[in-house]
Amino acid sequence: MLLDPAHALTTHWTYMLGALPWFARFALATQHHRVEAIADARADMLAHASEALDTLLRESGHTAMIENRGLIHTFQSKAGLAGAAYAIEMRRRRGVRLEVLGGDALRELEPALSTAVAGGVWYPNVRNCVNPQRMTEAIAADFFERGGDLVTDNVTGFDIGADGPRRIIAGRGSYDCDLVVLAAGAWSKPLAKQLGCDIALETERGYHIMITPPGTELRIPLVSNDQHIAISPMEHGLRLSTMSEFAAIDAPPRHDRPLHIFEKAINVVRGLNVAGSSSWVGARPSTPDSLPVIGRSPRFRNTLFAFGHGHLGLTWAAITGQLISQLASSVAPTIDLDAFRPDRTYTGSHLAPSRRG
């Protein structure tokens, strides 16, 4: 995949050398028994994700930003669909509702699908957020209403006393603290190191374009497994996203390559017009074992880590917030956090054998 110049998986080769230890751990985590155990831990998070988000949105009075439209994974060949059998079965064994359907049955569900789609998988219970920015603003407004405060500053370090960090050092000043929650996404690694833990964290950059108007009426979010493109109907148009680009977090974006990939989306959706779209690059914080880092620093009791959510940071945000607030107030967490502890090996070796493998 890395050698194919048109593939969605790419790296900057000079950067790759420094990332080799991450990839070595990733290779270890791909052993079958570890994949199954990792899937269990991810399923535990997913099982509580919807309820935690609904609670948060209900409390902020904004429930309308999540829609229940399901999700379709499309394949342009029967062989491609057959090749995904293991992943499909792995989800089915964990109770994910899904149906494997032929191209015509999928087009009945979603008439915007092109005749190039030979088959796919329909996940009726998947939900999507139609405007993540508006949702974040609504939750923040609720936080302010309850007395929360927001200070925007660039954290560079900590003043650490005998019991852990007591001041946060930032660009415009320093701030007293009783408790630190490090939740700086892909930027967390150097700060985590200062707080007592060397985390295997890489930046997996993704690109998206927003198409307004899209030129087509797509109702159900799609993932094209052949082209590695997610296509989501949003409040303002259609959002297409792609790419796993392992690169420095501040490397200049390379918009050409994703644009070529996005153009292939017209094979999947009829009448799609990708011209005149706006583009964006974002940094996914990714661990080699595909599990987030949620837990207490092994060195300091007053330091909590909450990052490393990879491709599912929006999906897992609310349940992570709930778990962190439970840790902060010494309440038993909703799920066992051992799988996500910061001082693990990041190869999956710390996990118990799967219950469903």
Ligand X SMILES: Cc1cc2nc3c(=O)[nH]c(=O)nc-3n(C[C@H](O)[C@H](O)[C@H](O)COP(=O)(O)OP(=O)(O)OC[C@H]3O[C@@H](n4cnc5c(N)ncnc54)[C@H](O)[C@@H]3O)c2cc1C
Part in contact with ligand X (CB under 6 A); list of ranges 194-202, 260-268, 279-287, 343-351: 279-287
Is residue 25 a contact point for ligand X (CB under 6 A)? no
User: How far apart are alpha carbons 211 and 40 in whole angstroms?
Assistant: 36
Q: Are 139 and 65 in contact (CB under 8 A)?
A: no
Contacts of 166 (CB under 8 A, 6+ apart): 159, 160, 176, 177
Taking CB atoms, the residue at the shortest distance from ligand X is 313
User: Binder to ligand X among 312, 328, 335, 337 (CB under 6 A)?
Assistant: 312
DSSP state, residue 288: T
User: How far apart are alpha carbons 180 and 195 in whole angstroms?
Assistant: 9
* CB of 154 or CB of 330, closer to ligand X: 154
DSSP SS3 for 328: helix
CB of 320 to ligand X, least distance (A): 8
* 297: exposed, middle or buried (Cβ count in 10 Å: 0-12, 13-18, 19+): buried
* CB of 206 or CB of 288, closer to ligand X: 206
User: How far apart are alpha carbons 70 and 319 in whole angstroms?
Assistant: 20
Is residue 285 a contact point for ligand X (CB under 6 A)? yes
User: Binder to ligand X among 41, 183, 223, 293 (CB under 6 A)?
Assistant: 183
* 89: exposed, middle or buried (Cβ count in 10 Å: 0-12, 13-18, 19+): exposed
Q: x/- site string to ligand X, residues 326 to 345, per CB under 6 A?
A: --------------------
User: How far apart are alpha carbons 253 and 248 in whole angstroms?
Assistant: 10
* CB of 130 or CB of 314, closer to ligand X: 314
User: Binder to ligand X among 48, 92, 311, 341 (CB under 6 A)?
Assistant: 311
* CB of 164 or CB of 285, closer to ligand X: 285
Q: Are 63 and 53 in contact (CB under 8 A)?
A: no
Part in contact with ligand X (CB under 6 A); list of ranges 110-118, 245-253, 296-304, 308-316: 308-316
Is residue 73 a contact point for ligand X (CB under 6 A)? no
Binding footprint of ligand X on the chain (CB under 6 A): 154-155, 183-187, 206-208, 241, 282-285, 307, 309-315
